[in-house]
A and B are shown apart, each in its own frame.
Chain A
Amino acid sequence: MWSFSNIANLVHEVLAEHFNPAITLAIEMVIAGVSVIGLFAILGLVLVIMERKVSAWMQIRLGPNRVGPKGMLQSLADTLKLIVKEGMTPNGADKLLFNLAPFIAMIVAMLLMAPIAFAKDLQMWDLNIGILYVSALSSVTVISILMAGWSSNNKFSLLGAMRSGAQIVSYELSAGLSALAIVVLTGSLQISEIITSQANGWWIFKGHIPAIIAFVTFIIAVTAETNRAPFDLAEAESELTAGFHTEYSGMKFALFFLAEYVNVFIMCSIAATLFFGGWMPLHIGNWHKFNHVMDFIPSSIWFFGKTFFLIFVIMWFRWTFPRLRIDQLLDLEWKYLLPITMFNLLLVTAVAILGWHF
């Protein structure tokens, strides 16, 4: 049976026959990089049209329906427009930081792609501290936002960036603690091990109530961390025009926009990996026949299905809830989410030690 590791081995063998090891490695890296950039472009297009359609239907509108069949090429047309537009740098701006910020946002999103298992045997870098790596890198996004806000020489940008700083620093905590709940149950930080530990059922079912609480807090924290409504104080269209990217135009703006959507995808795929078993099909304990039937559905479909379901949930949040005020935002984190996740961590530890999970 073919699998992604077979394809990778085949490519490696063909390359190794013709080139020396160093060049082979370089070519393989280029292939991986190009695939990631390609995935980025496709994700950007798909997620933007998905968001616009979901928002339209939730607000009893039609949404884009003119460009292409059912408006499905709308985001392609938008991208074309953004590429053609001029990327301006304001006069009073700090030129270096201003132009560097969108690329840092993008590079962070790209680096976060590395440890994600997209399908069985399709993982770029299976490092043994996968979850730690993700939570460490995802907080670097705030540097690009602060950079953009500071260098724009605009009070709205600066306000948005400062809010974003306060927000990401605080929500990073409960996101980490919720992820830790699953790490406690699995006993490993490695993504591949977390997935294989769910071969007899996903953690959200096996882990009883603590896993469900961890999932809910994780989704809330992740929504806040990716700066999406109801936690989109960094952008806050109605108060700060566009927050930290007010002064950006053309492709530089598009990079910020793309980085936001890619971050949403990455965070949802991490949530899917931790709580819904990543590419692992729906297995129930010892029902071997049922498990065997589920195995026929390809693992990539399982992964993308779960991830896109979670992305839909986050979009659902965005188009239902009103934006929080900054003090309410910090209240929610420090007075509610953090105590709950800490208590939940104790609970999950007890469950893991006493072996109450399946």
Chain B
Amino acid sequence: MFIKNYIKNIFSAVKSLLVGMKRTLYYFTHHKEIITQQYPDNRDTLILPERFKGEVVMPHNENNEHRCTGCTACELACPNGSIKVITKFDISPDGKKKKAIDKLVYHLELCTMCNLCVEACPSDAIKMAQTFEHSVYDRNQLTKTLNNPGSKIMDGVE
């Protein structure tokens, strides 16, 4: 019994090692599998993975309208205070006061790209962009206002 297990052990070990070696030999001989991106050289044709996260942006449509209601869910969700929502009150045509954003301030220098703000947003107002060349000479430039000047909320977003 012991001998049988012993020999079985040896063969299963050799087999599992050979499976690993087969895989590495496949990669060794198939250079099309190489995933290295030679970044500064292929800057124009760079293909980033789908889930790559570069910075938080707020998409606007052609009428300069965004979907942000100023609910501050993103500000509450952010673990290190990268987002600050400054709200104001709009007066609608029929005289009612309505909460809206004045500025959505985003500190890129504090952000860890954790994606929690995007998850928290109930109206899909913000998303992660794939831009990543963020170097600037002055760190003040890293504090960004996400909503465009003069933009307002899209109709139908509550």
Q: List residues of chain A with CB under 8 Å of any chain B CB.
A: 54, 57-62, 316-317, 319-321, 336, 340
Contact = CB atoms under 8 A, between A and B. Distances in A.
A58 B17 contact: no
Nearest to B18: A320
B24 A316 contact: yes
Interface string B1-33: 000000000100000010011011101100101
22 contacts: A54-B28, A57-B27, A57-B28, A57-B31, A57-B34, A58-B27, A58-B28, A59-B27, A60-B33, A60-B34, A60-B35, A60-B36, A61-B36, A62-B38, A316-B24, A316-B25, A316-B28, A317-B21, A320-B21, A320-B23, A336-B10, A340-B10
The interface size bin for chain B is 10 to 19
Contacts, number: 35
Interface string B83-106: 000000000000000000000000
Main secondary structure of the interface of B (DSSP, over half): helix
A62 B24 contact: no
Nearest to A312: B28
A210 to B, nearest CB: 16
A214 to B, nearest CB: 15
A336 B36 CA distance: 40
Contacts of A316: 21, 24-25, 28
Kindly list the 9 A-B residue pairs having the minimum CB-CB distance in the complex, ordered from nearest: A58-B24, A62-B36, A320-B24, A57-B28, A320-B20, A58-B28, A320-B21, A60-B33, A61-B36
Nearest to A322: B20
Contacts of B35: 60-61
A186 B17 CA distance: 32
A336 B10 CA distance: 8
A268 B156 CA distance: 75
A317 B21 CA distance: 7
Interface string B67-78: 000000000000
A4 B24 CA distance: 39
A61 B24 contact: no
A270 to B, nearest CB: 23
